[in-house]
Structure 1
Amino acid sequence: MNKCFNHPICKNESETEYCPACLQNGGIVPKDYIRSNLENSFTYHAPKSDQPQRYEAIRNKAKELAHMFDELCPDSREKTIAQENLEQAIMWANKSIACNE
């Protein structure tokens, strides 16, 4: 058995690309899966166990890289974009922990 191609939204296993529910829906994630994903994305997830320490570890590593960008890169639009994308990377990494554990 494999994971459905709509994983991680669809948690079903499948013998083909899509589980029967997604396949019946034309390979599109059924609305109940979309709704549960929306609920998960727009719900506050209180930190649990070691999550705060992991968030901080991610931020600290990113801060090191941000300082490297600041030291090695000339002030420019590209440097600003690199720093903004680093901020986004931290956000998405932390969200992956918060929403999937």
Structure 2
Amino acid sequence: MNPQIENNFMYHAPKEGQTEKYEAIRDKAKELAHMIDELCPNSREKSVAMTNLETAVMWANASIARN
């Protein structure tokens, strides 16, 4: 059994201090999302930027939860 796979596919209940870290990452990403929304014309590229920002938040939060 691969412990990395087991860790990556299990539920990780928030530990003390993690919720605040998740919120800080989301707040900064939201700030950038608003900037992108205001400055960039509606386009495929803008949509990709927003999607990748969401992806970055997800992976950043996963790094906190998993480690």
TM-score of the superposed pair, with normalisation by structure 2: 0.98
- Structure 1 segments, 4+ long, off by >3 Å, are none
2:60 counterpart residue number = 93
Corresponding position of 1:70: 37
1:57 aligns with 2:16: no
Aligned residues: 67
Aligned to 2:15: 48
Give the residue type in structure 2 aligned to 1:59: R
Q: What is the identity, as a one-letter code, of the residue corresponding to 2:23?
A: E
The structure with higher relative contact order (CA 8 Å, sep 6+) is 2
Aligned to 1:4: none
Task: Provide the identity percentage.
Answer: 66
Q: Secondary structure at the match of 1:57?
A: helix
TM-score, L = length of structure 1: 0.65
Q: C-alpha separation between the residues in 1 aligned to 2:65 and 2:42?
A: 34
The alignment yields a C-alpha RMSD, in angstroms, of 0.7
